[in-house]
């Protein structure tokens, strides 16, 4: 089998619900898509969701490296030799993890379709669905409560609240949300690097009764000692997100016991292949894993879902980045029922 043609295009998608996090307002996203054709009639799809603040990429740069580096390198190549292709491009695509993820998932899609089985089963098929959290951005208290009610009515029972700009406001919002959702709804909190160590401990102490499930990336991504201080200073799991981008980061986090959990996002680590390596490090170190996402098409969400379903220690999912996208060209790539994500039963990534 060889790759005979490639099509690359970008899509700007507005969000039906713009949101604020600690360092930016988000009202739209740009995703870049890849379609690979083979001489066997099998077609593979990939998606990149670059984010300058998280992945260090801009859409224009990603589009450029795909057209100028990736496509010329893979034409007439055997797509089933994914390790060879990805390793050959790793040096050239250093600093472009979402571009690597795009190629990686398109090759997995071809492999699954060649084998005529879904990727999640091909990788081991540990579970067939996973509960996902849904995100509530930084909003005034009343609007936060409205969003919480909205998601509960939609059948979700796991909320991820954003914060990090004002610890006192964050404490109030968490308390109020717990009051209206009751004890059976999980609440996770993401500070997006906005807290100091003192803020983090204060937040923990004053939300104890609200029973937060975890706190994500409280301190700056490169302030490893401060992240460790928070981990040692609170009695709820602390998760690294922005601090984890590479396999080397995973080793650092594990070796120095910087946190209790890690958030693996395909777009920031470079795809399923790299995610599996990072997950192996996390599992060997006893770190729990959540699979996360950017504001990305359901195609990217599908790839994250297939990875999550295959790994026993990926216990949590935050795969809601597609829910508020308007005009997503791959909107039917995953299924949702009662707050859980299911893959389609189609081969490959289910496209």
Sorted by where each starts, the structural domains of the chain and their CATH numbers stand as 3-115 (3.30.390.10), 120-343 (3.20.20.120)
Burial 90-123 (b: 16+ CB within 10 A, else e): eeebeebbbbbbbbbbbbbbbbbbbeebbbbbbb
Contact 102, 86 (CB under 8 A): no
CA distances from 103 to 17, 109, 113, 117, 157 (A): 29, 10, 16, 19, 34
d(CA 220, CA 227): 8
Beta bridge partners of 16: none
d(CA 162, CA 136): 6
Per-residue model confidence (pLDDT) at position 33: 98
Q: What is the pLDDT along the chain (351 residues), one digit of tens a residue?
A: 999 999 999 999 998 877 777 666 778 899 999 999 999 999 999 999 999 888 999 999 999 999 999 999 999 999 999 999 999 999 999 999 999 999 999 999 999 999 999 999 999 999 999 999 999 999 999 999 999 999 999 999 999 999 999 999 999 999 999 999 999 999 999 999 999 999 999 999 999 999 999 999 999 999 999 999 999 999 999 999 999 999 999 999 999 999 999 999 999 999 999 999 999 999 999 999 999 999 999 999 999 999 999 999 999 999 999 999 999 999 999 999 999 999 998 999 998
Per-residue model confidence (pLDDT) at position 351: 87
Catalytic (active-site) positions: 162, 190, 216, 241, 265
Per-residue model confidence (pLDDT) at position 22: 66
Q: Where are the alpha helices (DSSP H) in 116-223?
A: 119-122, 141-153, 167-181, 197-206
Per-residue model confidence (pLDDT) at position 81: 97
Per-residue model confidence (pLDDT) at position 25: 75
Contact 299, 47 (CB under 8 A): yes
Per-residue model confidence (pLDDT) at position 270: 97
Per-residue model confidence (pLDDT) at position 249: 97
Per-residue model confidence (pLDDT) at position 24: 66
Q: Which of 323, 325, 332, 328 is nearest to 351 (CA)?
A: 332
Q: What's the N-to-C CA distance of the chain in angstroms?
A: 20
What DSSP state is assigned to residue 210?
Answer: G
CA distances from 53 to 10, 61, 135, 166 (A): 19, 14, 18, 20
Q: Which of 173, 179, 168 is nearest to 138 (CA)?
A: 173
According to DSSP, the β-strands at 334-337 and 24-38 are: unpaired
**Spatial strand order in the sheet of 3-21:** 3-21, 24-38, 43-48
């Amino acid at each position: 089998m060889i790759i005979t043609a490639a099509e690359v295009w970008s899509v700007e998608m507005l969000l039906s619900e713009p949101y604020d996090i600690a360092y930016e307002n988000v009202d739209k996203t740009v995703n870049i898509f890849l379609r690979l054709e083979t001489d066997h009639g099998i077609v593979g799809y990939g998606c990149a969701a670059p984010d300058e603040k998280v992945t260090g990429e801009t859409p224009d740069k990603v589009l450029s490296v795909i057209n100028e580096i990736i496509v010329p390198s893979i034409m007439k190549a055997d797509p089933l030799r994914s390790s060879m292709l990805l390793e050959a491009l790793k040096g050239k695509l250093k600093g472009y993890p979402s571009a690597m993820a795009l190629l990686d998932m398109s090759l997995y899609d071809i492999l699954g379709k060649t084998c005529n089985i879904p990727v999640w089963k091909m990788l081991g098929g540990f579970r067939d669905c996973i509960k996902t959290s849904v995100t509530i951005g930084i909003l005034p208290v009343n609007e936060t409560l409205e969003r919480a009610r909205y998601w509960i009515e939609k059948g979700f029972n796991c909320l991820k609240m954003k914060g990090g700009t004002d610890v006192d406001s964050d404490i109030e919002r968490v308390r109020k949300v717990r009051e209206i959702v009751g004890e059976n709804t999980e609440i996770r909190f993401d500070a997006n690097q906005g807290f100091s160590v003192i803020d983090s401990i204060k937040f923990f102490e004053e939300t104890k009764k609200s029973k937060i499930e975890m706190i994500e990336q409280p301190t700056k991504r490169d302030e490893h000692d401060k992240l460790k201080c928070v981990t040692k200073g609170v009695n709820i799991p602390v998760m690294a997100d922005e601090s984890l981008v590479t396999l080397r980061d995973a080793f650092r986090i594990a070796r120095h016991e910087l946190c209790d959990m890690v958030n693996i996002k395909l777009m920031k680590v470079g795809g399923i292949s790299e995610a599996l390596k990072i997950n192996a490090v996390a599992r060997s170190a006893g770190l729990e894993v959540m699979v996360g996402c950017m504001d990305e098409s359901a195609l990217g969400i599908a790839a994250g879902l297939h990875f999550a379903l295959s790994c026993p220690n990926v216990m949590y999912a935050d795969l809601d980045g597609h829910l508020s996208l308007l005009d997503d060209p791959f909107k039917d790539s995953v299924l949702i029922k009662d707050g859980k994500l299911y893959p389609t039963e189609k081969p490959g990534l289910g496209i």
